[in-house]
Amino acid sequence: MIESWIRLSMKLSRPIPPLANWWAWRLFCAPIPGARRDPEFEARITEAERTQVTTRGGQIELWTWRRTQSGTRPLVLLVHGWQGSGASWKTWIEPCLDAGFDVMTFDAPGHGRNRPRFANLPIFADAVAKVTSAARPDAMIGHSLGGMAVAFSMTGTAPLDHASDANCRVLISTPNEVVDIFDRYQEMVGLSPSQRQSIDNRVIEMTGQAPGELSTSGMLAQREVPTLLFHDKRDREIPFADAEAIVSRNPVEFHATEGHGHRRILRQDSVRNHALTWLRSQL
């Protein structure tokens, strides 16, 4: 239903090219609102330390959970993906604490409780960089676009003010090529060639790079730290081939799963336990 409406709106805007190009970009950067707030996660927020950070995408709130106030436990930052929220990590909070870590997450700009509903990879990456500057996490875990944002943030390239820093990172269900994301969007909504070119031009204006030059594998190569990668063979949103491409170009540890898909993978005890055991070996 939503996809059909979007395709219709694209066609109706084409007689006015400036409007058509703006609309194509605006929809691309508009995450669809998710479900209502998760009561379980809302209850966990009441137990968290709450701080705020200003990013290119607006002000966001950070939530940190600790078992002690000593500040001696490693801090793990959890970064959700497109159309996710901090609640995406609700099953990770207690296991992280049990494993000896402090843990932090947030709603990315345009997601969860944040308005306006506008976000993209540079905005995500800037948020990660600003959060890491304020909180100094020892490790980062990113899901989907959040994983790509983690990799992007550690490069410090335009439009970022600085690079984020961490001793190690875990990427889960992460896309590789930005151009592939645009290709899927073009096919889904029926972009005209001029609309697609206008989106490519906006990326060049923001980053100084064409979409075809932006990839997770390339970003990881710019900042080599120990990296663990998870991807499910039956992921229907981000093809398994993306993980294979990342592995072929980078010295990462790779764990393939099967039958968990793109989002359910976050709820798998085996994935979470593997990631936390690996983090303990690195920190």
123 near 115, Cβ under 8 Å?
no
Q: What is the CATH number of the domain that holds 278?
A: 3.40.50.1820
Is pLDDT above 60 for 249?
yes
Range of the domain at 110: 38-176+215-282
**pTM > 0.85: yes or no:** yes
Residue 43: burial class (beta carbons within 10 Å; 0-12, 13-18, 19+): exposed
Asked whether residue 172 falls in the same domain as residue 188, the answer is no
Asked whether residue 137 falls in the same domain as residue 26, the answer is no
CA distance 27 to 9: 10
User: How much is the pLDDT for 71?
Assistant: 78
128 near 139, Cβ under 8 Å?
no
If phi > 0 it is left, if psi is from -120 to 50 it is alpha, else beta; for residue 65 that is beta
8-32 average pLDDT score: 87
Tell me the residue type at 60.
I
Contacts of residue 147, Cβ cutoff 8 Å, sequence gap at least 6: 79, 81, 171, 172, 173, 174, 216
Helix, strand, or coil here: 53?
strand
List 60's β-bridge partners, or say none.
53
pLDDT in tens, 161-218: 999 999 999 999 999 999 999 999 999 888 999 999 999 999 999 999 999 999 999 9
Asked whether residue 263 falls in the same domain as residue 249, the answer is yes
pLDDT in tens, 110-120: 999 999 999 99
pLDDT in tens, 170-182: 999 999 999 999 9
Domains: count for the chain: 2
